[in-house]
Amino acid sequence: MTHFNLIVIGGDGAGMGAASQARRINKDISIAVFERGEHVSYAACGMPYFISDDIKDYISLIAIDIDEFINKKNIRINTLSEVINADFHEKKITVKHNGETESYTFDRIIVATGASPSLPPIPGIDNENIFVLRSLRNGINIKNFISEKKPSSVILIGGGIISLELAESFTKLKINVTILEKTGTIASLMSPEIQSLIMNVLVKNGVKVKTGIDIENIVREEKRLSVNTTKEKLETDFVIVSTGSRPNTSLFKNSGLKFYPNGAIIVDRKCNTGIDNVFAAGDCCTVTNLITGDDDYIPLATNANKQGRVAG
């Protein structure tokens, strides 16, 4: 059984930031990162601009490639490697890779498992040509679809930041955009003044925005999709769902960690979880709200990158 001084679960912003910071502090410890996806250390915030072709190659979104982590930073990177069990008391994890499992032990561990799209329970939301944008693979799949199918229309479900960025990207590609938002306003985290400015720019650029919308189902009809709301039927070539995120923490349900109501791991300002030698960072955990002083869930890249450094 292989032993590491530090194991990091998750290889995106927080995880790779943590591993890199730990290496800067100590050149001699052994560090391993286990990532269930195929890419690590990429600029997720740049994906809408990759889709719009402002960024030509997804490689440009990768901050540091795997070989550099391995050869220059001496950090072992394991992609397509899903941690399926974590025992913080025994200081051991079990990893599944290529259908086989292997166990590793550690002195310290950083949980940086991120978050997944939170999909609303809409019948038909698993139909073909319905996408989410969370991982680099998601971005590649969307861009490949546009290149191959040449769609003329898209419906964006959700009126948050990702949908707004994608509205800009698709408008540049001459794809007709409709945004459907369940609440009464888009950009709900912004002030009313900013919401009004955003709405004006969207309308000026031909984006249709429909608020207060309840979707009954999504039906595939030949090569198109019908999004049926309580008010009307809307047809489109493809759909992207951006309705929030949920922390990837189900693996740690019985681990002794403390959780926020939505399942995020509660940590203090130094990313301590309350279990010795177990830390957490990024979209899987809480942050301290600087205004209220309370634990809060704010899954943004800025928070994830900063927490990664703190944890490291």
Over the Cα atoms of the chain, what is R_g? Answer: 21
Residue 229 amino acid letter:
T
How many C-beta neighbours within 10 Å does residue 154 have?
25
Token digits for 127? 């139909």
Q: What is d(CA 286, CA 263) in angstroms, rounded to the nearest whole number?
A: 10
Phi, psi of 120 (to 5 degrees): -70, 155
**HSE (side-chain half, CA atoms, 13 Å) at 29:** 19
How deeply is 244 buried, as exposed, middle or buried, from its count of CB atoms within 10 A (0-12, 13-18, 19+)? middle
Q: Is 284 a residue of the active site?
A: no
Question: Among 45, 271, 284, 285, which one carries the catalytic annotation?
Answer: 45
Q: What is the set of active-site residues?
A: 45
